[in-house]
Amino acid sequence: MRVAFFEVQSWERELIEQSPLADRAESYEGCLNNKCASLVGGCDAISVFVYCPVDAETMDQMPGLKLITTRSTGTDHIDVAAAEQRGIAVANVPEYGANTVAEHTFGLILGLSRKIFLAHDRVRSDNFALEGLQGFDLKEKTLGVVGAGSIGLHVIRMARALSMEVLAYDVRESAILAEVLGFRYAALEEVFAGSDVISLHAPLVPATRRMVNRESLARMKRGVLIVNTARGELIDTEALVEALDSGQVGGAGLDVFEGEEAVKEESVLLHGDREPPSELRPLRSLLERDNVIITPHMGFYSREALRRILDTTIENILAFERGEPQNLVRG
Protein backbone atom coordinates (compact mmCIF):
# COMPACT_ATOMS: atom_id res chain seq x y z
CA MET A 1 0.00 0.00 0.00
CA ARG A 2 1.14 3.52 -0.80
CA VAL A 3 0.63 5.81 2.20
CA ALA A 4 0.61 9.61 2.60
CA PHE A 5 1.20 11.17 6.04
CA PHE A 6 0.07 14.76 6.67
CA GLU A 7 0.94 17.27 9.44
CA VAL A 8 4.22 15.45 9.96
CA GLN A 9 6.95 16.80 12.22
CA SER A 10 10.63 16.11 11.58
CA TRP A 11 10.94 13.48 14.31
CA GLU A 12 7.90 11.65 12.92
CA ARG A 13 9.43 11.64 9.44
CA GLU A 14 12.59 10.04 10.80
CA LEU A 15 10.61 7.25 12.47
CA ILE A 16 8.45 6.68 9.38
CA GLU A 17 11.62 6.35 7.30
CA GLN A 18 12.87 3.70 9.73
CA SER A 19 9.57 1.76 9.71
CA PRO A 20 8.38 -1.06 7.43
CA LEU A 21 6.49 1.64 5.47
CA ALA A 22 9.67 3.51 4.54
CA ASP A 23 9.76 2.57 0.87
CA ARG A 24 6.13 3.46 0.19
CA ALA A 25 5.32 6.36 2.47
CA GLU A 26 5.15 10.06 1.64
CA SER A 27 5.33 12.71 4.38
CA TYR A 28 3.98 16.25 4.22
CA GLU A 29 4.31 19.04 6.79
CA GLY A 30 1.10 20.68 5.63
CA CYS A 31 -2.51 19.69 6.09
CA LEU A 32 -4.53 17.62 3.67
CA ASN A 33 -7.13 19.70 1.85
CA ASN A 34 -9.22 19.58 -1.28
CA LYS A 35 -6.51 21.35 -3.29
CA CYS A 36 -3.76 18.83 -2.58
CA ALA A 37 -5.85 15.65 -2.27
CA SER A 38 -5.67 15.04 -6.00
CA LEU A 39 -1.86 15.11 -5.82
CA VAL A 40 -1.92 11.98 -3.66
CA GLY A 41 -4.92 10.47 -5.42
CA GLY A 42 -3.04 7.26 -6.05
CA CYS A 43 -2.51 6.55 -2.37
CA ASP A 44 -4.17 3.55 -0.75
CA ALA A 45 -4.02 5.05 2.75
CA ILE A 46 -3.63 8.44 4.38
CA SER A 47 -2.73 9.44 7.93
CA VAL A 48 -3.92 12.76 9.36
CA PHE A 49 -4.09 14.62 12.65
CA VAL A 50 -7.06 16.52 14.12
CA TYR A 51 -6.49 19.70 12.11
CA CYS A 52 -6.96 17.89 8.78
CA PRO A 53 -10.68 17.66 7.96
CA VAL A 54 -11.42 14.76 5.64
CA ASP A 55 -14.82 15.21 4.03
CA ALA A 56 -16.62 13.48 1.19
CA GLU A 57 -15.25 15.88 -1.43
CA THR A 58 -11.69 15.18 -0.31
CA MET A 59 -12.26 11.43 -0.42
CA ASP A 60 -13.66 11.66 -3.93
CA GLN A 61 -10.36 13.12 -5.13
CA MET A 62 -8.59 9.96 -3.97
CA PRO A 63 -10.40 7.18 -5.84
CA GLY A 64 -7.94 4.49 -4.73
CA LEU A 65 -8.25 5.29 -1.04
CA LYS A 66 -8.91 2.27 1.16
CA LEU A 67 -7.90 3.46 4.64
CA ILE A 68 -7.91 6.70 6.63
CA THR A 69 -5.86 6.60 9.83
CA THR A 70 -6.03 9.46 12.29
CA ARG A 71 -3.23 10.00 14.79
CA SER A 72 -5.79 10.76 17.49
CA THR A 73 -8.60 9.15 19.43
CA GLY A 74 -11.28 11.58 18.26
CA THR A 75 -12.59 11.29 14.71
CA ASP A 76 -14.94 14.28 14.46
CA HIS A 77 -12.64 15.79 11.78
CA ILE A 78 -13.44 12.84 9.51
CA ASP A 79 -16.78 12.19 7.82
CA VAL A 80 -16.87 8.56 8.92
CA ALA A 81 -20.31 7.96 7.38
CA ALA A 82 -19.10 9.19 3.98
CA ALA A 83 -16.08 6.91 4.27
CA GLU A 84 -18.30 3.92 4.98
CA GLN A 85 -20.45 4.74 1.95
CA ARG A 86 -17.31 4.65 -0.20
CA GLY A 87 -15.95 1.46 1.31
CA ILE A 88 -13.10 3.31 3.06
CA ALA A 89 -12.05 2.05 6.48
CA VAL A 90 -11.27 4.54 9.26
CA ALA A 91 -8.88 3.70 12.10
CA ASN A 92 -7.87 5.70 15.17
CA VAL A 93 -5.55 5.46 18.18
CA PRO A 94 -7.89 4.61 21.06
CA GLU A 95 -5.23 4.19 23.75
CA TYR A 96 -2.09 6.28 23.65
CA GLY A 97 -1.97 8.63 26.58
CA ALA A 98 -4.74 8.27 29.13
CA ASN A 99 -2.25 9.11 31.86
CA THR A 100 -0.69 11.86 29.71
CA VAL A 101 -3.92 13.82 29.25
CA ALA A 102 -4.95 13.15 32.85
CA GLU A 103 -1.67 14.59 34.13
CA HIS A 104 -2.19 17.72 32.04
CA THR A 105 -5.74 17.94 33.37
CA PHE A 106 -4.50 18.02 36.94
CA GLY A 107 -1.85 20.54 35.98
CA LEU A 108 -4.68 22.86 34.96
CA ILE A 109 -6.73 22.08 38.07
CA LEU A 110 -3.82 22.79 40.41
CA GLY A 111 -2.86 25.87 38.41
CA LEU A 112 -6.35 27.25 38.97
CA SER A 113 -6.97 26.14 42.54
CA ARG A 114 -3.64 27.55 43.76
CA LYS A 115 -3.33 30.42 41.23
CA ILE A 116 0.12 29.19 40.25
CA PHE A 117 0.26 30.82 36.83
CA LEU A 118 -0.96 34.17 38.12
CA ALA A 119 1.67 34.05 40.87
CA HIS A 120 4.37 33.13 38.37
CA ASP A 121 3.50 36.08 36.12
CA ARG A 122 3.56 38.46 39.09
CA VAL A 123 6.94 37.29 40.33
CA ARG A 124 8.41 37.73 36.86
CA SER A 125 7.29 41.35 37.17
CA ASP A 126 9.08 41.66 40.55
CA ASN A 127 5.77 41.57 42.44
CA PHE A 128 6.00 39.21 45.43
CA ALA A 129 2.78 40.34 47.14
CA LEU A 130 0.38 37.63 48.25
CA GLU A 131 -2.76 39.76 47.83
CA GLY A 132 -5.21 38.09 45.47
CA LEU A 133 -3.31 34.79 45.39
CA GLN A 134 -5.23 32.86 48.02
CA GLY A 135 -6.23 29.47 46.67
CA PHE A 136 -8.12 26.54 48.15
CA ASP A 137 -7.42 22.93 49.10
CA LEU A 138 -8.60 20.16 46.79
CA LYS A 139 -8.84 17.77 49.73
CA GLU A 140 -12.50 16.89 50.47
CA LYS A 141 -13.73 18.94 47.49
CA THR A 142 -15.88 17.19 44.89
CA LEU A 143 -14.57 16.59 41.39
CA GLY A 144 -17.13 15.98 38.65
CA VAL A 145 -15.81 13.86 35.79
CA VAL A 146 -17.89 13.95 32.61
CA GLY A 147 -16.81 10.96 30.57
CA ALA A 148 -15.32 8.16 32.68
CA GLY A 149 -13.43 6.38 29.95
CA SER A 150 -9.72 5.61 30.08
CA ILE A 151 -8.67 9.27 30.53
CA GLY A 152 -11.47 10.05 32.96
CA LEU A 153 -10.58 7.03 35.09
CA HIS A 154 -6.97 8.20 35.35
CA VAL A 155 -8.23 11.60 36.47
CA ILE A 156 -10.40 9.88 39.07
CA ARG A 157 -7.41 7.92 40.42
CA MET A 158 -5.44 11.15 40.82
CA ALA A 159 -8.37 12.90 42.50
CA ARG A 160 -8.83 10.10 44.99
CA ALA A 161 -5.09 10.20 45.78
CA LEU A 162 -5.66 13.85 46.77
CA SER A 163 -8.59 12.84 49.00
CA MET A 164 -11.20 14.39 46.72
CA GLU A 165 -14.73 13.05 46.43
CA VAL A 166 -15.66 12.11 42.86
CA LEU A 167 -18.94 12.10 40.95
CA ALA A 168 -18.76 10.66 37.44
CA TYR A 169 -21.11 10.62 34.49
CA ASP A 170 -20.75 8.15 31.64
CA VAL A 171 -23.14 6.41 29.29
CA ARG A 172 -21.61 3.10 30.39
CA GLU A 173 -21.21 2.42 34.10
CA SER A 174 -19.05 -0.16 35.86
CA ALA A 175 -20.01 -0.94 39.44
CA ILE A 176 -16.70 -2.74 39.96
CA LEU A 177 -14.62 0.26 38.88
CA ALA A 178 -16.69 2.58 41.05
CA GLU A 179 -16.16 0.36 44.07
CA VAL A 180 -12.45 -0.21 43.51
CA LEU A 181 -11.60 3.43 42.76
CA GLY A 182 -14.01 4.86 45.32
CA PHE A 183 -16.23 7.12 43.23
CA ARG A 184 -19.94 7.34 42.50
CA TYR A 185 -21.76 7.46 39.19
CA ALA A 186 -24.44 10.12 38.95
CA ALA A 187 -26.72 11.74 36.39
CA LEU A 188 -25.15 14.57 34.42
CA GLU A 189 -27.35 17.12 36.17
CA GLU A 190 -26.15 15.93 39.59
CA VAL A 191 -22.51 16.01 38.48
CA PHE A 192 -22.91 19.60 37.28
CA ALA A 193 -24.80 20.71 40.40
CA GLY A 194 -22.71 18.92 43.02
CA SER A 195 -19.11 19.51 41.92
CA ASP A 196 -16.54 22.07 43.00
CA VAL A 197 -14.40 21.24 39.98
CA ILE A 198 -15.71 19.83 36.69
CA SER A 199 -13.43 18.07 34.21
CA LEU A 200 -14.67 17.22 30.72
CA HIS A 201 -13.54 14.02 28.99
CA ALA A 202 -16.53 13.28 26.75
CA PRO A 203 -16.35 12.70 22.99
CA LEU A 204 -17.84 15.30 20.66
CA VAL A 205 -21.16 13.95 19.39
CA PRO A 206 -24.45 15.75 18.77
CA ALA A 207 -25.61 15.04 22.33
CA THR A 208 -22.49 16.53 23.92
CA ARG A 209 -21.99 19.59 21.71
CA ARG A 210 -22.18 22.68 23.98
CA MET A 211 -23.26 20.54 26.92
CA VAL A 212 -21.79 23.31 29.07
CA ASN A 213 -24.15 26.16 28.21
CA ARG A 214 -26.12 28.93 29.92
CA GLU A 215 -28.64 26.49 31.39
CA SER A 216 -26.13 23.97 32.72
CA LEU A 217 -23.80 26.69 34.01
CA ALA A 218 -26.66 28.23 35.99
CA ARG A 219 -27.18 24.90 37.82
CA MET A 220 -23.54 24.60 38.89
CA LYS A 221 -22.10 25.65 42.25
CA ARG A 222 -21.15 29.31 42.33
CA GLY A 223 -17.39 29.63 41.85
CA VAL A 224 -16.98 26.21 40.18
CA LEU A 225 -13.80 25.52 38.23
CA ILE A 226 -14.23 24.04 34.74
CA VAL A 227 -11.46 22.17 32.93
CA ASN A 228 -11.68 20.92 29.34
CA THR A 229 -9.03 18.69 27.78
CA ALA A 230 -11.45 16.89 25.44
CA ARG A 231 -13.04 18.92 22.64
CA GLY A 232 -13.59 22.67 22.55
CA GLU A 233 -17.13 22.41 21.25
CA LEU A 234 -18.29 20.82 24.50
CA ILE A 235 -18.46 24.36 25.91
CA ASP A 236 -20.46 27.33 24.68
CA THR A 237 -17.66 29.90 24.93
CA GLU A 238 -19.94 32.95 25.05
CA ALA A 239 -21.89 31.39 27.92
CA LEU A 240 -18.63 30.63 29.73
CA VAL A 241 -17.49 34.25 29.38
CA GLU A 242 -20.79 35.46 30.84
CA ALA A 243 -20.49 33.01 33.75
CA LEU A 244 -16.93 34.18 34.46
CA ASP A 245 -18.14 37.80 34.38
CA SER A 246 -20.86 37.09 36.94
CA GLY A 247 -18.65 34.97 39.19
CA GLN A 248 -20.81 31.87 38.64
CA VAL A 249 -17.64 30.22 37.30
CA GLY A 250 -14.53 30.88 39.37
CA GLY A 251 -12.03 29.84 36.74
CA ALA A 252 -11.45 27.75 33.63
CA GLY A 253 -8.61 25.62 32.34
CA LEU A 254 -8.90 25.01 28.61
CA ASP A 255 -6.57 22.88 26.53
CA VAL A 256 -9.19 22.96 23.76
CA PHE A 257 -11.70 25.64 22.76
CA GLU A 258 -14.23 26.58 20.12
CA GLY A 259 -12.60 28.04 17.01
CA GLU A 260 -9.34 26.22 17.73
CA GLU A 261 -8.67 25.59 14.04
CA ALA A 262 -9.16 29.26 13.17
CA VAL A 263 -6.68 30.34 15.85
CA LYS A 264 -3.81 28.78 13.91
CA GLU A 265 -4.67 31.13 11.07
CA GLU A 266 -5.69 34.20 13.07
CA SER A 267 -3.58 34.11 16.26
CA VAL A 268 -2.04 37.50 15.47
CA LEU A 269 -5.50 39.05 15.67
CA LEU A 270 -6.06 37.83 19.21
CA HIS A 271 -3.37 40.10 20.60
CA GLY A 272 -3.31 42.87 18.01
CA ASP A 273 -5.28 46.07 17.62
CA ARG A 274 -7.48 44.73 14.85
CA GLU A 275 -10.88 43.30 15.68
CA PRO A 276 -10.73 39.49 15.54
CA PRO A 277 -13.29 37.45 13.58
CA SER A 278 -16.59 37.12 15.42
CA GLU A 279 -15.99 33.47 16.29
CA LEU A 280 -12.74 34.39 18.07
CA ARG A 281 -13.99 37.36 20.13
CA PRO A 282 -15.01 35.24 23.14
CA LEU A 283 -11.57 33.64 23.07
CA ARG A 284 -9.87 37.03 23.19
CA SER A 285 -11.94 37.81 26.28
CA LEU A 286 -10.79 34.58 27.92
CA LEU A 287 -7.15 35.33 27.17
CA GLU A 288 -7.37 38.58 29.10
CA ARG A 289 -8.45 36.95 32.38
CA ASP A 290 -6.30 36.01 35.36
CA ASN A 291 -8.60 33.14 36.30
CA VAL A 292 -8.41 31.40 32.92
CA ILE A 293 -5.56 29.15 31.78
CA ILE A 294 -5.41 28.28 28.08
CA THR A 295 -2.93 25.81 26.58
CA PRO A 296 -2.60 25.02 22.85
CA HIS A 297 -4.15 21.53 22.69
CA MET A 298 -1.07 19.94 24.23
CA GLY A 299 -2.59 17.50 26.70
CA PHE A 300 -1.40 14.62 24.53
CA TYR A 301 1.99 16.19 23.85
CA SER A 302 4.52 14.13 25.80
CA ARG A 303 7.37 12.29 24.11
CA GLU A 304 6.06 8.94 25.30
CA ALA A 305 2.51 9.52 24.09
CA LEU A 306 3.62 10.88 20.72
CA ARG A 307 5.72 7.78 20.11
CA ARG A 308 2.80 5.53 21.05
CA ILE A 309 0.52 7.43 18.66
CA LEU A 310 2.85 7.00 15.70
CA ASP A 311 3.66 3.36 16.51
CA THR A 312 -0.06 2.51 16.73
CA THR A 313 -0.79 4.36 13.48
CA ILE A 314 1.89 2.45 11.61
CA GLU A 315 0.63 -0.83 13.06
CA ASN A 316 -2.94 0.11 12.04
CA ILE A 317 -1.73 0.39 8.45
CA LEU A 318 0.30 -2.83 8.54
CA ALA A 319 -2.58 -4.74 10.14
CA PHE A 320 -4.94 -3.50 7.42
CA GLU A 321 -2.49 -4.72 4.79
CA ARG A 322 -2.41 -8.16 6.42
CA GLY A 323 -6.18 -8.35 6.25
CA GLU A 324 -6.42 -8.05 10.04
CA PRO A 325 -7.71 -4.47 10.48
CA GLN A 326 -7.60 -3.05 13.99
CA ASN A 327 -8.92 0.02 15.82
CA LEU A 328 -11.62 0.60 13.21
CA VAL A 329 -14.19 3.35 13.81
CA ARG A 330 -17.82 3.02 12.77
CA GLY A 331 -20.12 5.85 11.78
End-to-end CA distance of the chain: 24
Look at residue 277 in the predicted model and tell me its pLDDT.
66
- Residue pair 109/88 in contact (Cβ under 8 Å)? The answer is no
User: pLDDT tens track of the chain, all 331 residues?
Assistant: 999 999 999 999 999 999 999 999 999 998 887 667 777 878 999 999 988 899 999 999 999 999 999 999 889 899 999 999 999 999 999 988 899 999 999 999 999 999 999 999 999 999 999 999 999 999 999 999 999 999 999 999 999 999 999 999 999 999 999 999 999 999 999 999 999 999 999 999 999 999 999 999 999 999 999 999 999 999 999 999 999 999 999 999 999 999 887 776 555 445 555 666 666 778 888 998 999 999 999 999 999 999 999 999 999 999 999 999 999 998 6
Catalytic center residues: 231, 260, 297
Distance of CA 324 to the CA centre of its chain: 29
d(CA 157, CA 123): 33
Look at residue 275 in the predicted model and tell me its pLDDT.
66
d(CA 291, CA 218): 19
How does pLDDT run across 101-148, given as a tens digit for each residue? Answer: 999 999 999 999 999 999 999 999 999 999 999 999 999 999 999 999
Look at residue 283 in the predicted model and tell me its pLDDT.
86
Taking each helix axis from N to C end, the angle separating 303-321 and 10-17, rounded to the nearest 10 degrees, works out to 40
Query: H-helix or E-strand containing 6?
Result: none
Q: Is 299 exposed, middle or buried (0-12, 13-18, 19+ CB in 10 A)?
A: buried
This prediction's pTM: 0.86
Look at residue 268 in the predicted model and tell me its pLDDT.
45
- Residue pair 69/46 in contact (Cβ under 8 Å)? The answer is yes
